[in-house]
Amino acid sequence: MPPISLTDKERAMMLGMATAALQHAYAPYSKFRVGATVITDDGHLYTGSNVENASYGLTMCAERAAIFNAVHQVQGKLKLKGIAVVTENDVPCPPCGACRQVIAEFGANTAVVFRGQTDYMEMNIADMLPETFRLT
Ligand code: THU
């Protein structure tokens, strides 16, 4: 299924803001800095970066940081049109499984933009997380 399509301008804006956001990452353990931007159905943009902890399992990914930031700032339920993920030095970074589940919570057909092995890719979250667990 094709994702909710992003315009070239939206995609460029999201990637630019995610690149700026990764400068705020707290990644002293992995040294793997990640930035993410979400765009809502009505075109608002929110960013996040990864935040690590000495107790490694408490680490928060950039994608979830950006989504939780958006949840707290939108009126009503967040409706995700897209999310873009950027790393330093163009290292491939498809969202992890936990982040896929959280993305799906806020949009069944969210466009996910991430660096693949050779270039940026854009996929529908429904294709990245088939048989999504839902309670509603
Ligand atoms: N990380 C993200 O922020 N997003 C991903 O999709 C994958 C991994 C972070 C978590 C951790 O701080 C670092 O990258 C290395 O795993």
Q: What is the pLDDT of residues 97-131, one digit of tens each?
A: 999 999 999 999 999 999 988 999 999 999 999 99
Q: What is the average pLDDT across 7-21?
A: 97
Pocket residues: Cβ below 6 A from ligand 1: 27, 30, 32, 34, 50, 52, 59, 61-63, 93, 95-96, 99
Asked if the structure places residue 46 within a domain, the reply is: yes
Compute the distance between CA of residue 39 and CA of residue 101 in angstroms, rounded to an integer. 17
CATH of the domain at 47: 3.40.140.10
Q: Which domain holds residue 90?
A: 8-128
Query: What's the farthest any 2 CA atoms get from each other in the chain?
Result: 40
Asked if the structure places residue 135 within a domain, the reply is: no
pTM: 0.96
Note the pLDDT of residue 2. Answer: 56
Asked if the structure places residue 2 within a domain, the reply is: no
Query: Is it the case that residue 26 has pLDDT exceeding 70?
Result: yes
96 CA from centroid of ligand 1 (Å): 8
Note the pLDDT of residue 4. Answer: 63
Asked if the structure places residue 25 within a domain, the reply is: yes
6 CA from centroid of ligand 1 (Å): 24
Contact 93, 85 (CB under 8 A): yes
CA distances from residue 56 to 60, 61, 65, 131 in whole angstroms, order as listed: 10, 12, 16, 29
Active-site amino acid positions? 63
Question: pLDDT averaged over the chain?
Answer: 95
129 CA from centroid of ligand 1 (Å): 18
Asked if the structure places residue 133 within a domain, the reply is: no
Q: What is the pLDDT of residues 40-92, one digit of tens each?
A: 999 999 999 999 999 999 999 999 999 999 999 999 999 999 999 999 988 99
Asked if the structure places residue 1 within a domain, the reply is: no
Asked if the structure places residue 105 within a domain, the reply is: yes
- The number of the ligand 1 atom at minimal distance from the alpha carbon of 93 is 6
Number of compact structural domains in the chain: 1
Nearest CA to ligand 1 atom 9: 61
- The number of the ligand 1 atom at minimal distance from the alpha carbon of 94 is 6
